[in-house]
Protein backbone atom coordinates (compact mmCIF):
# COMPACT_ATOMS: atom_id res chain seq x y z
CA UNK A 1 0.00 0.00 0.00
CA UNK A 2 1.39 3.37 -1.06
CA UNK A 3 0.35 7.00 -0.75
CA UNK A 4 0.69 9.05 -3.91
CA UNK A 5 -1.36 12.17 -3.17
CA UNK A 6 -1.72 14.22 -0.02
CA UNK A 7 -3.56 17.47 0.65
CA UNK A 8 -2.86 18.85 4.12
CA UNK A 9 -3.03 22.17 5.98
CA UNK A 10 -2.15 23.67 9.34
CA UNK A 11 -2.99 26.94 11.11
CA UNK A 12 -0.20 28.80 12.88
CA UNK A 13 -0.29 31.42 15.62
CA UNK A 14 2.25 33.80 14.06
CA UNK A 15 2.42 35.59 10.72
CA UNK A 16 3.90 33.66 7.83
CA UNK A 17 6.65 34.85 5.49
CA UNK A 18 5.85 35.99 1.96
CA UNK A 19 7.18 33.39 -0.49
CA UNK A 20 6.04 34.83 -3.82
CA UNK A 21 6.02 38.05 -5.79
CA UNK A 22 2.54 39.14 -4.70
CA UNK A 23 0.80 39.56 -1.37
CA UNK A 24 -2.84 40.53 -0.83
CA UNK A 25 -3.96 42.20 2.39
CA UNK A 26 -7.66 41.93 3.18
CA UNK A 27 -9.60 44.57 5.14
CA UNK A 28 -13.23 44.79 6.23
CA UNK A 29 -14.49 47.92 4.42
CA UNK A 30 -17.15 48.51 7.05
CA UNK A 31 -15.00 48.37 10.17
CA UNK A 32 -11.56 48.83 8.68
CA UNK A 33 -10.46 45.68 10.46
CA UNK A 34 -7.38 43.93 9.11
CA UNK A 35 -8.68 40.44 8.33
CA UNK A 36 -5.37 38.98 7.18
CA UNK A 37 -3.15 38.41 4.19
CA UNK A 38 -3.37 35.96 1.31
CA UNK A 39 -0.74 34.83 -1.14
CA UNK A 40 -1.33 33.29 -4.57
CA UNK A 41 -0.67 29.58 -4.84
CA UNK A 42 3.05 28.94 -5.20
CA UNK A 43 4.10 26.07 -7.46
CA UNK A 44 7.22 24.40 -6.13
CA UNK A 45 8.89 22.71 -9.08
CA UNK A 46 10.90 19.58 -8.49
CA UNK A 47 12.91 17.57 -10.96
CA UNK A 48 11.29 15.73 -13.89
CA UNK A 49 8.29 18.12 -14.20
CA UNK A 50 6.95 17.39 -10.72
CA UNK A 51 5.12 20.14 -8.85
CA UNK A 52 3.90 20.66 -5.29
CA UNK A 53 1.41 23.48 -4.66
CA UNK A 54 1.80 25.70 -1.57
CA UNK A 55 -0.97 28.09 -0.61
CA UNK A 56 -0.87 30.62 2.23
CA UNK A 57 -4.14 32.15 3.39
CA UNK A 58 -3.87 34.20 6.56
CA UNK A 59 -2.01 31.99 9.02
CA UNK A 60 -2.90 28.76 7.23
CA UNK A 61 -0.43 26.83 5.08
CA UNK A 62 -1.90 24.31 2.63
CA UNK A 63 0.21 21.90 0.60
CA UNK A 64 -1.19 19.70 -2.17
CA UNK A 65 0.52 17.26 -4.49
CA UNK A 66 2.07 13.87 -4.96
CA UNK A 67 4.93 13.44 -2.45
CA UNK A 68 5.83 10.05 -3.94
CA UNK A 69 6.45 11.75 -7.28
CA UNK A 70 8.60 14.72 -6.21
CA UNK A 71 12.08 14.62 -7.76
CA UNK A 72 11.40 11.17 -9.20
CA UNK A 73 10.80 9.84 -12.70
CA UNK A 74 7.88 7.70 -11.55
CA UNK A 75 5.81 6.64 -8.57
CA UNK A 76 5.22 2.97 -9.33
CA UNK A 77 6.40 2.25 -5.79
CA UNK A 78 5.82 5.19 -3.45
CA UNK A 79 5.91 6.05 0.22
CA UNK A 80 4.22 3.60 2.55
CA UNK A 81 3.43 5.94 5.45
CA UNK A 82 1.88 9.37 5.86
CA UNK A 83 4.87 10.36 8.00
CA UNK A 84 7.16 9.86 5.00
CA UNK A 85 4.89 12.00 2.81
CA UNK A 86 4.72 14.79 5.41
CA UNK A 87 8.49 14.69 5.78
CA UNK A 88 8.83 15.37 2.06
CA UNK A 89 6.52 18.38 2.43
CA UNK A 90 8.35 19.65 5.51
CA UNK A 91 11.66 19.65 3.68
CA UNK A 92 10.06 21.80 0.98
CA UNK A 93 8.45 24.16 3.52
CA UNK A 94 11.81 24.64 5.22
CA UNK A 95 13.28 25.98 1.97
CA UNK A 96 10.77 28.86 2.12
CA UNK A 97 11.17 29.54 5.82
CA UNK A 98 7.72 28.15 6.55
CA UNK A 99 6.94 26.18 9.73
CA UNK A 100 6.62 22.39 9.39
CA UNK A 101 3.47 20.31 9.63
CA UNK A 102 3.18 18.75 13.08
CA UNK A 103 1.11 15.97 14.60
CA UNK A 104 -1.95 16.69 16.69
CA UNK A 105 -1.55 15.96 20.39
CA UNK A 106 -5.03 16.87 21.65
CA UNK A 107 -6.71 14.06 23.51
CA UNK A 108 -9.99 15.83 24.35
CA UNK A 109 -12.69 15.09 21.80
CA UNK A 110 -16.14 16.60 21.40
CA UNK A 111 -18.39 13.59 21.02
CA UNK A 112 -17.49 9.92 20.90
CA UNK A 113 -13.91 9.32 19.83
CA UNK A 114 -13.50 8.54 16.10
CA UNK A 115 -17.26 8.52 15.47
CA UNK A 116 -19.04 10.52 12.78
CA UNK A 117 -19.84 13.18 15.41
CA UNK A 118 -16.35 13.35 16.88
CA UNK A 119 -14.65 16.72 16.62
CA UNK A 120 -11.30 17.88 17.89
CA UNK A 121 -9.80 21.34 18.04
CA UNK A 122 -6.60 20.60 16.08
CA UNK A 123 -3.23 21.81 17.27
CA UNK A 124 -1.51 20.18 14.32
CA UNK A 125 -2.04 19.44 10.65
CA UNK A 126 -5.36 18.41 9.05
CA UNK A 127 -5.53 16.03 6.08
CA UNK A 128 -8.18 16.92 3.47
CA UNK A 129 -7.46 14.36 0.73
CA UNK A 130 -5.43 11.18 0.56
CA UNK A 131 -4.87 8.77 -2.32
CA UNK A 132 -4.13 5.16 -1.36
CA UNK A 133 -2.78 2.79 -4.02
CA UNK A 134 -1.55 -0.76 -4.53
CA UNK A 135 -0.01 -2.69 -7.42
CA UNK A 136 -1.31 -6.13 -8.37
CA UNK A 137 0.16 -8.50 -10.91
CA UNK A 138 -2.26 -10.33 -13.22
CA UNK A 139 0.29 -11.73 -15.67
CA UNK A 140 1.54 -10.60 -19.07
CA UNK A 141 -1.24 -9.96 -21.58
CA UNK A 142 -4.03 -10.16 -19.00
CA UNK A 143 -4.38 -6.52 -17.89
CA UNK A 144 -7.11 -5.35 -20.26
CA UNK A 145 -9.12 -8.55 -19.79
CA UNK A 146 -8.85 -8.23 -16.01
CA UNK A 147 -9.98 -4.59 -16.04
CA UNK A 148 -12.84 -5.54 -18.33
CA UNK A 149 -13.90 -8.28 -15.94
CA UNK A 150 -13.66 -6.17 -12.81
CA UNK A 151 -15.80 -3.49 -14.46
CA UNK A 152 -18.76 -5.83 -13.95
CA UNK A 153 -18.62 -5.45 -10.16
CA UNK A 154 -20.31 -2.76 -8.05
CA UNK A 155 -18.45 -1.22 -5.12
CA UNK A 156 -19.81 0.71 -2.12
CA UNK A 157 -23.20 1.25 -3.82
CA UNK A 158 -21.42 2.79 -6.82
CA UNK A 159 -21.64 1.53 -10.38
CA UNK A 160 -18.56 0.57 -12.43
CA UNK A 161 -17.61 2.42 -15.60
CA UNK A 162 -15.22 0.91 -18.13
CA UNK A 163 -13.44 3.69 -20.02
CA UNK A 164 -13.67 3.53 -23.80
CA UNK A 165 -9.96 2.73 -24.18
CA UNK A 166 -10.36 -0.29 -21.90
CA UNK A 167 -7.41 0.78 -19.73
CA UNK A 168 -9.32 2.08 -16.69
CA UNK A 169 -12.35 1.18 -14.64
CA UNK A 170 -13.75 3.57 -12.07
CA UNK A 171 -16.86 3.64 -9.91
CA UNK A 172 -19.42 6.46 -9.98
CA UNK A 173 -22.65 7.26 -8.19
CA UNK A 174 -25.97 6.53 -9.86
CA UNK A 175 -26.03 10.12 -11.08
CA UNK A 176 -22.80 9.49 -12.98
CA UNK A 177 -20.60 11.57 -10.69
CA UNK A 178 -17.58 10.80 -8.55
CA UNK A 179 -18.40 9.85 -4.99
CA UNK A 180 -18.52 12.57 -2.35
CA UNK A 181 -16.61 10.31 0.03
CA UNK A 182 -14.37 8.23 -2.21
CA UNK A 183 -13.36 7.84 -5.85
CA UNK A 184 -11.98 4.35 -6.62
CA UNK A 185 -10.36 3.20 -9.85
CA UNK A 186 -8.32 0.36 -11.34
CA UNK A 187 -6.05 1.09 -14.29
CA UNK A 188 -3.25 -0.20 -16.49
CA UNK A 189 -0.05 1.21 -14.99
CA UNK A 190 2.11 0.61 -18.09
CA UNK A 191 -0.40 2.50 -20.22
CA UNK A 192 -0.49 5.38 -17.72
CA UNK A 193 3.31 5.78 -17.63
CA UNK A 194 3.51 5.56 -21.41
CA UNK A 195 0.74 8.15 -21.83
CA UNK A 196 1.78 10.75 -19.26
CA UNK A 197 5.40 10.39 -18.14
CA UNK A 198 7.28 9.09 -21.17
CA UNK A 199 6.41 11.96 -23.58
CA UNK A 200 7.55 14.57 -21.01
CA UNK A 201 10.87 12.82 -20.46
CA UNK A 202 11.38 12.44 -24.20
CA UNK A 203 10.79 16.17 -24.76
CA UNK A 204 13.10 17.17 -21.91
CA UNK A 205 15.96 14.66 -22.17
CA UNK A 206 15.53 12.99 -25.56
CA UNK A 207 14.94 9.37 -26.51
CA UNK A 208 18.62 8.47 -26.16
CA UNK A 209 18.84 9.58 -22.52
CA UNK A 210 19.26 7.37 -19.46
CA UNK A 211 15.99 8.80 -18.10
CA UNK A 212 14.06 7.75 -21.20
CA UNK A 213 15.60 4.26 -21.18
CA UNK A 214 14.75 3.87 -17.48
CA UNK A 215 11.07 4.63 -18.11
CA UNK A 216 10.99 2.26 -21.09
CA UNK A 217 12.44 -0.47 -18.88
CA UNK A 218 9.80 0.30 -16.25
CA UNK A 219 7.01 0.08 -18.82
CA UNK A 220 8.36 -3.28 -19.99
CA UNK A 221 8.49 -4.45 -16.37
CA UNK A 222 4.81 -3.51 -15.97
CA UNK A 223 3.93 -5.38 -19.17
CA UNK A 224 5.87 -8.48 -18.15
CA UNK A 225 4.08 -8.72 -14.81
CA UNK A 226 0.72 -7.38 -15.97
CA UNK A 227 0.56 -4.63 -13.34
CA UNK A 228 -2.79 -3.07 -12.56
CA UNK A 229 -3.04 -0.18 -10.12
CA UNK A 230 -5.80 -0.10 -7.51
CA UNK A 231 -6.36 3.47 -6.32
CA UNK A 232 -8.74 5.04 -3.81
CA UNK A 233 -9.03 8.81 -3.57
CA UNK A 234 -10.26 9.43 -0.04
CA UNK A 235 -12.10 12.73 0.18
CA UNK A 236 -12.34 15.15 3.09
CA UNK A 237 -15.82 14.05 4.20
CA UNK A 238 -14.76 10.40 4.46
CA UNK A 239 -11.53 11.21 6.30
CA UNK A 240 -13.47 13.36 8.77
CA UNK A 241 -16.23 10.77 9.24
CA UNK A 242 -13.70 7.99 9.93
CA UNK A 243 -11.55 10.15 12.23
CA UNK A 244 -8.62 9.98 9.80
CA UNK A 245 -8.27 13.68 9.02
CA UNK A 246 -6.10 14.71 11.98
CA UNK A 247 -2.43 14.05 11.33
CA UNK A 248 -1.17 11.98 14.22
CA UNK A 249 -4.55 10.25 14.58
CA UNK A 250 -4.57 8.84 11.03
CA UNK A 251 -4.69 5.14 12.06
CA UNK A 252 -2.65 3.13 9.51
CA UNK A 253 -4.52 -0.08 10.39
CA UNK A 254 -7.88 1.48 9.57
CA UNK A 255 -6.56 2.85 6.28
CA UNK A 256 -5.10 -0.53 5.39
CA UNK A 257 -8.38 -2.25 6.24
CA UNK A 258 -10.36 0.13 4.03
CA UNK A 259 -7.93 -0.39 1.18
CA UNK A 260 -7.91 -4.16 1.57
CA UNK A 261 -11.69 -4.16 1.22
CA UNK A 262 -11.22 -2.53 -2.18
CA UNK A 263 -8.48 -4.96 -3.21
CA UNK A 264 -10.72 -7.88 -2.28
CA UNK A 265 -13.28 -6.87 -4.92
CA UNK A 266 -11.39 -9.01 -7.46
CA UNK A 267 -12.13 -12.11 -5.39
CA UNK A 268 -15.75 -11.86 -6.59
CA UNK A 269 -14.78 -12.62 -10.19
CA UNK A 270 -15.80 -16.27 -10.06
CA UNK A 271 -17.86 -17.07 -13.17
CA UNK A 272 -16.13 -17.98 -16.42
CA UNK A 273 -19.22 -18.34 -18.65
CA UNK A 274 -22.79 -17.23 -18.16
CA UNK A 275 -24.40 -20.68 -18.10
CA UNK A 276 -26.81 -22.29 -15.68
CA UNK A 277 -24.34 -25.07 -14.91
CA UNK A 278 -21.34 -22.87 -14.14
CA UNK A 279 -23.33 -20.48 -11.96
CA UNK A 280 -24.91 -23.33 -10.04
CA UNK A 281 -21.55 -24.99 -9.48
CA UNK A 282 -19.96 -21.72 -8.38
CA UNK A 283 -22.75 -20.96 -5.91
CA UNK A 284 -22.26 -24.35 -4.29
CA UNK A 285 -18.45 -24.31 -4.43
CA UNK A 286 -18.33 -20.90 -2.76
CA UNK A 287 -20.71 -22.00 -0.01
CA UNK A 288 -23.36 -19.47 -1.05
CA UNK A 289 -25.94 -22.24 -1.50
CA UNK A 290 -25.99 -25.55 0.33
CA UNK A 291 -27.66 -27.64 -2.36
CA UNK A 292 -28.33 -27.91 -6.09
CA UNK A 293 -32.01 -27.01 -5.78
CA UNK A 294 -31.45 -23.62 -4.16
CA UNK A 295 -28.44 -22.92 -6.41
CA UNK A 296 -30.49 -23.67 -9.54
CA UNK A 297 -33.25 -21.34 -8.35
CA UNK A 298 -30.75 -18.54 -7.90
CA UNK A 299 -29.05 -19.32 -11.22
CA UNK A 300 -32.33 -18.86 -13.08
CA UNK A 301 -32.42 -15.26 -11.86
CA UNK A 302 -28.95 -14.73 -13.34
CA UNK A 303 -29.99 -16.25 -16.69
CA UNK A 304 -33.11 -14.07 -16.81
CA UNK A 305 -30.97 -11.04 -16.01
CA UNK A 306 -28.57 -11.99 -18.79
CA UNK A 307 -31.47 -11.91 -21.26
CA UNK A 308 -32.55 -8.43 -20.24
CA UNK A 309 -35.17 -9.16 -17.59
CA UNK A 310 -35.65 -6.50 -14.90
CA UNK A 311 -36.62 -7.33 -11.34
CA UNK A 312 -38.67 -5.70 -8.61
CA UNK A 313 -35.88 -5.13 -6.08
CA UNK A 314 -38.40 -4.44 -3.32
CA UNK A 315 -39.52 -8.08 -3.23
CA UNK A 316 -37.85 -10.11 -0.51
CA UNK A 317 -37.39 -13.13 -2.79
CA UNK A 318 -35.54 -11.00 -5.35
CA UNK A 319 -33.42 -9.50 -2.58
CA UNK A 320 -32.44 -12.98 -1.39
CA UNK A 321 -31.32 -14.18 -4.82
CA UNK A 322 -29.59 -10.87 -5.58
CA UNK A 323 -27.59 -11.16 -2.32
CA UNK A 324 -26.46 -14.68 -3.28
CA UNK A 325 -25.42 -13.68 -6.79
CA UNK A 326 -23.52 -10.60 -5.62
CA UNK A 327 -21.22 -12.93 -3.68
CA UNK A 328 -19.98 -14.36 -6.99
CA UNK A 329 -19.78 -11.04 -8.83
CA UNK A 330 -23.23 -10.77 -10.44
CA UNK A 331 -25.55 -7.90 -9.54
CA UNK A 332 -29.01 -8.27 -11.09
CA UNK A 333 -29.84 -4.70 -10.09
CA UNK A 334 -27.44 -3.50 -12.80
CA UNK A 335 -27.95 -3.70 -16.54
CA UNK A 336 -26.20 -6.78 -17.88
CA UNK A 337 -23.23 -6.37 -20.20
CA UNK A 338 -22.39 -9.93 -21.14
CA UNK A 339 -19.17 -8.91 -22.88
CA UNK A 340 -17.58 -8.08 -19.53
CA UNK A 341 -17.84 -11.66 -18.30
CA UNK A 342 -16.14 -13.48 -21.14
CA UNK A 343 -13.06 -15.58 -20.36
CA UNK A 344 -12.35 -14.10 -16.93
CA UNK A 345 -11.93 -16.32 -13.91
CA UNK A 346 -10.40 -15.35 -10.62
CA UNK A 347 -10.74 -18.34 -8.30
CA UNK A 348 -8.71 -21.11 -6.72
CA UNK A 349 -7.52 -22.36 -10.12
CA UNK A 350 -7.28 -19.00 -11.84
CA UNK A 351 -7.09 -18.29 -15.54
CA UNK A 352 -5.81 -14.92 -14.38
CA UNK A 353 -3.61 -15.30 -11.32
CA UNK A 354 -3.68 -12.17 -9.18
CA UNK A 355 -0.64 -11.59 -7.00
CA UNK A 356 1.63 -9.00 -5.45
CA UNK A 357 4.65 -7.52 -7.17
CA UNK A 358 7.96 -6.24 -5.80
CA UNK A 359 10.24 -3.54 -7.15
CA UNK A 360 13.06 -4.85 -9.40
CA UNK A 361 16.63 -4.50 -8.15
CA UNK A 362 17.31 -1.61 -10.56
CA UNK A 363 14.29 0.42 -9.42
CA UNK A 364 15.16 3.96 -8.26
CA UNK A 365 13.81 4.35 -4.77
CA UNK A 366 13.44 7.71 -3.01
CA UNK A 367 16.73 9.41 -2.24
CA UNK A 368 17.93 10.98 1.01
CA UNK A 369 17.14 9.86 4.53
CA UNK A 370 13.64 8.69 3.62
CA UNK A 371 13.38 4.98 3.06
CA UNK A 372 10.84 3.04 1.05
CA UNK A 373 9.47 0.29 3.28
CA UNK A 374 9.35 -3.21 1.88
Is 364 a domain residue? no
Domain assignment of residue 28, yes or no: no
Which pLDDT value is given to residue 270?
Answer: 53
Q: Is the pLDDT of residue 115 over 60?
A: no
Residues 153 and 278 in one domain: no
Dump the DSSP string for 207-243. TTSHHHHHHHHHHHHHHHHTEEEEEEEE-HHHHHHTT
pLDDT above 60: residue 85: yes
**152/73 same-domain check:** yes
Whether residues 205 and 263 share a domain: the answer is yes
The confidence score (pLDDT) of residue 111 equals: 46
The reply to whether 244 and 289 lie within a common domain is no
210-247 in b/e form (b: 16+ CB < 10 A) is ebbebbbebbebbbebbbbbbbbbbbbebbbbbbbbbb
233 and 95 within one domain: yes
Q: Is residue 356 part of a domain?
A: no
Q: Which tens digit of pLDDT belongs to each residue from 180-226? A: 899 999 999 999 999 999 999 999 999 999 999 999 999 999 999 99
Residues 136 and 215 in one domain: yes
Residue 162 lies in a domain: yes
Based on the fold, state whether residues 194 and 69 are members of the same structural domain: yes
Same domain, 242 and 302: no
Of 218, 246, 267, which one is at a domain's C-terminal end? 267
Print the domain residue range for 331: 270-341
Q: End of a domain among 242, 267, 292? A: 267
Q: What local confidence, expressed as pLDDT, does residue 271 receive? A: 45
- pLDDT at residue 371 is higher than 70: no
Asked if residue 197 belongs to a domain, the reply is yes
Q: 267 and 260 in contact (C-beta within 8 Å)?
A: no
266-298 pLDDT, tens digit each:
876 654 434 556 788 888 888 899 888 899 899
Q: Domain for residue 256, yes or no?
A: yes
In a domain, 10, yes or no: yes
Q: Both ends of the chain: CA-CA distance in Å?
A: 10
State whether 308 and 196 are in the same domain: no
> What pLDDT digit, counting tens, does each position of 116-146 carry?
455 667 889 999 999 999 999 988 888 888 8
Task: Give residue 345's pLDDT.
Answer: 43
Domain count, the chain: 2
Q: Are residues 334 and 255 in the same domain?
A: no
Amino acid sequence: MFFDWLSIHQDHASDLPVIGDRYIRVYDTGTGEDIGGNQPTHHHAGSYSTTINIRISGNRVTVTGNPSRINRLDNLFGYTSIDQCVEVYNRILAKYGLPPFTKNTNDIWKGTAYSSTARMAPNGAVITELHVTSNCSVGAGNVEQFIKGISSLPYRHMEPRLHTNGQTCDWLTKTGKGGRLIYPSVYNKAFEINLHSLPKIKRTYGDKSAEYKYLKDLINFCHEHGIVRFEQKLKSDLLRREGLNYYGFDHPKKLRSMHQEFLDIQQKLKVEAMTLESITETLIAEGVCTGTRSANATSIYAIQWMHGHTFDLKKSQVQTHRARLRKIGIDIAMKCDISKFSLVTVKETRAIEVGTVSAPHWYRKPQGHLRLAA
